[in-house]
Amino acid sequence: MRFVISALFLFVVAAAYDPLDPNGNLTIKWDIVSWTPDGYVAVVTMNNFQMYRHIMSPGWTLGWTWAKKEVIWSMNGAQTTEQGDCSQFKGNVPHCCKKTPTVVDLLPGVPYNQQYSNCCKGGVLPAWGIDPQSAVSAFQISVGMAGTSNKTVKLPKNFTLLGPGPGYTCGPAKVVPSTTFLTQDRRRKTQALMTWNVTCTYSQFLARKNPSCCVSFSSFYNETITPCPTCACGCQNKNSCVKSGSKVLKRAGFNTPRKDNTPLLQCTHHMCPVRVHWHVKVNYKEYWRVKVSIINFNYRMNYTLWSLAVQHPNLNDVTQVFSFDYKPLVPYESINDTGMFYGMKFYNDLLMEAGPFGNVQSEVLLRKDKDTFTLKQGWAFPRKVYFNGDECMLPPPDTYPFLPNSAPHQQLFSGLTAIAAMVFLLVTVW
């Protein structure tokens, strides 16, 4: 019995490890900045140290369990979703009296006296690897009935984080060296009275039982398109999907998201919210070109921030990315075979809901290494693909587009480009 429990624990821990972002985590830092007559005032800061996994709308939800009988007198930059039973208090009533408070970020545009630095973004938290300046969220909290010294304050327990759904597991709070702050004129340092950290890691295994995206392939040298596997993301939504030409799509409010983020998918054989298509477009003498398309099949979801992480051996020599931003990921310094693509700000960083505008695409030009480059045995296709931090399901290797028997292995020039363009047009629309 002990062996079974240990095996399950190791499986869950292993699932939380991301080989493309081994050091990625979300860290919650709790700094006590002043004492009050019955407790303290603290600044709580959340840093998203993940390279390509955002926390999207409707944003993060943070929870914990108080160690004693603490209450929250007031908050700036965030709020609890429930006040709880505060009937024992006369006069001043606390902001929250629950033993297990649930905290959410404030929305943009709240009154200035309710704001705090790095707050009020609706809980949206970009990935550190893509937008490090925005990958932080913070709020101020005044805690009562908590003790008024380092020896009497007890650390909260059982931290939970939704981002916005399940998937994150948080470790215990640990006291760390006190944070140092610089004054605005940068001439004086102040120090937190006490600091503790909580580290949360993401596991796709805990987030959902099925993948949330799939990958399809095509190439200029083969007229066959390798589709996503059937029911790649599960077929639980098969009975509630909507056909692309249905009249119901014209109803007012049809695209309005629901509070529980229930998807409304376009009917497809793969039943995935997102499909990534990798098309080997042209083979030049010293370069080769790929077209990458991301198609959204969810009528209720706009991906305001999206990211695509790809593992392929030739990403060590990317020459140009035409319509996406690109950044190499080097989790292991000696290996450079992984990169992340994301939208250009104010241009294509928004992936619209399913429909004629629900796609983004770019071409990638790569320089050949003549010692390794080949179009045989699926080498030109990626090894792993992640959309918004979740691994996508790839087709079986034996279905990849293969070279015609009569075609030269290394020099397939663009005489077939017209056919490739027609094939990919069909793929993009399909």
Cα gap 309→340, rounded to integer Å: 4
User: Is there a contact between 280 and 365 (Cβ–Cβ < 8 Å)?
Assistant: no
Per 3-state DSSP, the chain is made up of helix, strand and coil in percentages (nearest 5) of 15, 35, 50
Cα gap 250→235, rounded to integer Å: 25
What pairing do the DSSP bridges indicate for beta strands 274-283 and 213-219?
parallel
Chain mean pLDDT for the chain: 87
Cα gap 35→32, rounded to integer Å: 8
The confidence score (pLDDT) of residue 424 equals: 44
Report the DSSP beta bridge partners of residue 332: 335
pLDDT digits (tens, 9 = 90+) for 209-258: 899 999 999 999 998 899 999 999 998 888 888 887 777 777 766 666 66
Question: In 57-193, where do the E strands start and end?
Answer: 61-65, 71-76, 78-80, 102-105, 136-144, 157-162, 168-170, 174-176, 180-182, 189-191
Half-sphere exposure in the Cβ direction for 309 (13 Å, CA): 26
SS3 202: strand
Domains 26-206 and 209-244+263-399 share a fold: yes
The confidence score (pLDDT) of residue 334 equals: 66
pTM of the model: 0.84
**Sequence ranges of the domains in the chain:** 26-206, 209-244+263-399
Cα gap 34→42, rounded to integer Å: 7
CATH class in words for 26-206:
mainly beta
Strand order in the sheet with 222-226: 222-226, 213-219, 274-283, 287-296, 359-367, 318-321
Mark the ranges of the chain whose per-residue pLDDT is less than 50: 1-15, 407-430
Q: By CB neighbour count within 10 A (0-12 exposed, 13-18 middle, 19+ buried), where does 20 fall? A: buried
The confidence score (pLDDT) of residue 261 equals: 65
User: Is there a contact between 21 and 330 (Cβ–Cβ < 8 Å)?
Assistant: no
User: Is there a contact between 278 and 219 (Cβ–Cβ < 8 Å)?
Assistant: no
CATH class in words for 209-244+263-399:
mainly beta
Sequence-distant (6+) residues with CB within 8 A of 254 are 248, 299
